[in-house]
Chains A and B, each alone.
Chain A
């Protein structure tokens, strides 16, 4: 970007002008013009209804976790230890790590199959953060935490439905 103070051509994203050292960071923040853009930037994660949460322990068996997930009718469990988020067990983990193998799922602990230390978001984060995390990290589910404790989970489907809800708006 062009420095408004001295006219120097800086690379986009620099916090300070390389020439005159003026602070440029506030010029990078887009100002929402309205429509969906405003919702994406200003609505908090807590605006969207969270998906139901199934909590399991790393020492639970995969068979137990699968049975809990199926009972609730969702596709993943959040793994907690001492109330804190330590992992997530998704359908993709089950597909990649246990499906097709002749193993007794009663004897396999959740800790052997789960994805450890998943990326999480906070309730106060704006919705654009979750879209960013899903696109960059290729996740379909992102746990929502409050002080390290999981309080919900948000899915790619929920995000798509949220955008559909506002699709009558201009961008």
Chain B
């Protein structure tokens, strides 16, 4: 079976996704940043009564807030991406990969059939999935006789 066929069968809900960072659109940029930090995520889903209305990412923080004359007290809906590209938990892993490539995205919000924010899938979730499902080649490195450890692991 091709990788494509396998990744078409695996649905997003099968991935071990982390709980998303979510704030209401009236939240300040500072509050949003604090929720992202607490959840160790690079993006926050911006909601209005539970429905997804926007996405705020680390890249938005860099491009629209840092070094710009925007206060962290301003509401996040001024700097979020309105109506971001999204998928549902029932979509496949290959559809995430394609959407990320097409749109150059690293975070895809997930919604249910009513548009209620249900989660987020990140490029890191994908790499973790590959490593866990192609373990012989990725996670369990075979001995490599030419490989020298140049520095301590970590960082």
Binding site for B on A (CB under 8 A): 15, 25, 28-30, 32, 35-37, 40-41, 63, 66-67, 69-70, 75, 91-92, 94-96, 98-100, 102, 105, 115-120, 128-129, 131-132, 134-138, 140, 155-157, 159-161, 163-164, 166-171
- Which of B9-17, B54-62, B112-120 is the contact stretch? B54-62
| CB neighbours of A94 from chain B (8 A) | 58, 61-62, 66
Chain A residues within 8 Å of B84, by CB: none
The residues of B that contact A167 with a CB separation of less than 8 Å are 2-4, 7, 94, 97
A169 vs B127: C-alpha distance when bound (angstroms):
18
Contact: A164 with B139, CB < 8 Å? no
8 additional A-B pairs beyond A128-B141, A155-B123, beta carbons within 8 Å, are A75-B59, A95-B58, A131-B130, A135-B130, A136-B139, A156-B124, A156-B126, A167-B4
Contacts known (A95-B37, A117-B154, A169-B2); A128 close to B138, Cβ less than 8 A: yes
Kindly state whether residue B106 has any CB partner on chain A within 8 Å: yes
Residues of B within 8 A of A102 (CB): 72
Verify A116–B155 contact, CB threshold 8 A: yes
Distance in Å: Cβ of A145 to nearest Cβ of chain B: 9
> With A and B bound together, what is the CA distance between A99 and B79 in angstroms?
14
Within 8 A of A (CB), among B140-155: 141-143, 151, 153-155
Tell me whether chain A's interface is mostly helix, strand or loop, or mixed. Answer: helix
In this assembly, does B49 line the interface, its C-beta being within 8 Å of a C-beta of chain A?
no
Interfacial chain A residues near B58, Cβ < 8 Å: 75, 91-92, 94-95
Q: List 7 A-B contacts (CB under 8 A).
A: A66-B67, A91-B62, A99-B65, A132-B139, A136-B131, A167-B94, A171-B3
Q: Give the Cβ gap from A159 to chain B, nearest Cβ, in Å.
A: 6
- Asked if B132 is at the interface (CB within 8 A of a chain A CB), the reply is yes
Q: Is the CB of A115 within 8 A of B155?
A: yes
**Cβ 8 A contact of A119, one of B7, B36, B154:** B154
Q: How far, in angstroms, from A144 to B6 measured CA to CA in the complex? A: 31
Q: Does B26 contact A (CB under 8 A)?
A: no
* A93–chain B nearest beta-carbon distance, Å: 10
Q: Which 3 A-B pairs have the closest CB atoms?
A: A135-B131, A91-B58, A167-B4
What 1/0 flags go to B39-75 for Cβ under 8 Å of A?
0001000000000000000110111011100001000
Q: Which residues of A contact B127 (CB under 8 A)?
A: 131, 134-135, 156, 159-160
Closest A residue by C-beta to B97: A164
Q: Which residues of B contact A163 (CB under 8 A)?
A: 3, 97, 130
- The answer to whether B34 touches A100, judged by C-beta atoms less than 8 angstroms apart, is yes
> With A95-B42, A96-B37 known to touch, is A140 a contact of B142 (CB < 8 Å)?
no
Q: Indicate if the CB atoms of B62 and A70 lie closer than 8 Å.
A: yes
- B residues 4-34 near A (Cβ < 8 Å) are 4, 6-7, 29-30, 33-34
